[in-house]
Structure 1
Amino acid sequence: MSEESIRHIQNIIEAALLAAGKPLNLDQIRELFTEEERPARQVVEHALSQLEQACADRSYELRKVSSGYRFQIREDYATWVGRLFEEKPQRYSRALLETLALIAYRQPITRGEIEDIRGVTVSSNIVRTLMEREWVRIVGHKDVPGRPAMYATTRQFLDYFNMTTLEQLPPLSEIRDLEEIGREIEQKIQAEIQFDTPAPEAEDAASSADEDHDESIPGTLH
């Protein structure tokens, strides 16, 4: 295939990613083309690689996440781009961040198991917020009396935190304290700005009276 053909495919992919407003995987990108002109997966991968290199000196980058490929602003420019939006920076309660961390590291996990580790009741508001953000989903029910729901993270969770797999989470051997894990997640949330999508509506850390009121943090994750 000629360089001109590759550039044509590259331009089509670039236009589609800019317009999509969400990540596109290889199959979705190939579906942009008619059956007669559809490039092989290797050709699409090569065009994506060329696009990534073309963005090397730009304020945005081509990033591969769990759901596919997307353009996004580089973190170095987040401060300036963030001023375009009227929303306050996202704020999440410590209890929510700890709950999300436990689900990410211990999935699948039940609400009762989260409460056993944290030592406090998990607010229904926390679970609802995580489900509404589509960071967490129910993946089954534990085979014990009451058959409690088991929670796990989603592709959207990986996408939001710029990961392709859960293996990219910091190893527990390096981060063991729940508060420290919560801070890691909060830093990622504060830095995350999509190329063409404003941040979701902020969740005020102090707004929910029914969230956990504990001031103590359990010592470690085991």
Structure 2
Amino acid sequence: MTDETTLERGTVQQRLEAILMIADEPIGLVSLSAAVGAPVPAVRQALESLVADYDGADDGTPRGFELREVGGGWRMYVRADFDDLVADYIGGQAPAKLSQAALETLAVIAYKQPVTRSQVAAIRAVNVDSVVRTLLARGLITEQFADPETGAINYGTTGLLMQQLGINSLDELPPISPLLDDGADGFDDFV
């Protein structure tokens, strides 16, 4: 495959790697096929080849990352053997203050968990993709599970957040706002 299109846009594997490298949620096979402009069978075959390559097939060395199918889609992950190394690296970083956007997003996740990124975005009325990536990278939130119907990742807080807040349980979080109306007034009329 050395035609002009391949040279210009890369192989199916290269295009998949480029897309998967920036994905922060699993991407379904059909979506990957559309993204790289290749038929589903070719994408499936390329994914299987990448998995084998990353896992060290043919007497190769396994990479520090792996390609997994989870939640109805594909995504790159740190290989489990290196979880501690990555956690130590992230934990050893100079603590930086969180932005206002990160604090607000973290509060929504803490109080509403498990919650999807789109639910957080709807509550905050802004795109939260980069903020969620930052909170994940800092170990303050984690992916809990993928919704079986939509494949959306549900997020929750981690023990590190509770440690940083000096609490033992989410039950110790203060009420959201005892001074704000909870919106329940008037619902008794409809019961």
Q: TM-score range by the shorter chain?
A: 0.3 to 0.5
More helix by share: 2
TM-score by length of 1: 0.37
Higher relative contact order (CA 8 A, sep 6+): 1
